[in-house]
């Protein structure tokens, strides 16, 4: 989920300054387990764009 949001952000916000920070977080509240799952990632548009270029 977090990865998908970051990819969409990089594709959608190509025109904003490259050093703009992006933070994506998600939390899954588990009903059958005694714990919740959290994921987060902080990066910049420049780092996202570079990572996307390398993966293509």
Instruction: With 0.75 as the threshold, say if the pTM is over it.
Output: no
The pLDDT-based confidence of 41 (bands split at 50, 70, 90) is very high
Mean pLDDT of the chain: 88
Q: Rounded to whole angstroms, how far apart are CA atoms 10 and 53?
A: 11
Looking at the predicted structure, is the pLDDT value of residue 52 above 80? yes
Q: Which residues contact 2 (CB under 8 A, 6 or more apart)?
A: 24, 25, 26, 39, 40, 41
Q: Which of 54, 49, 53 is nearest to 11 (CA)?
A: 49
- The pLDDT value recorded for residue 11 is 87
Long-range contacts of 33-39 (CB under 8 A, 24+ apart): 39/1, 39/2
């Amino acid at each position: 989920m977090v990865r998908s949001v970051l990819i969409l952000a990089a594709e959608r916000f190509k025109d904003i300054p490259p050093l703009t920070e992006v933070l994506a977080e998600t939390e899954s509240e588990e009903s059958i387990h005694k714990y919740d799952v959290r994921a987060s990632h902080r990066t910049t548009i420049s780092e996202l764009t570079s990572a996307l270029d390398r993966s293509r």
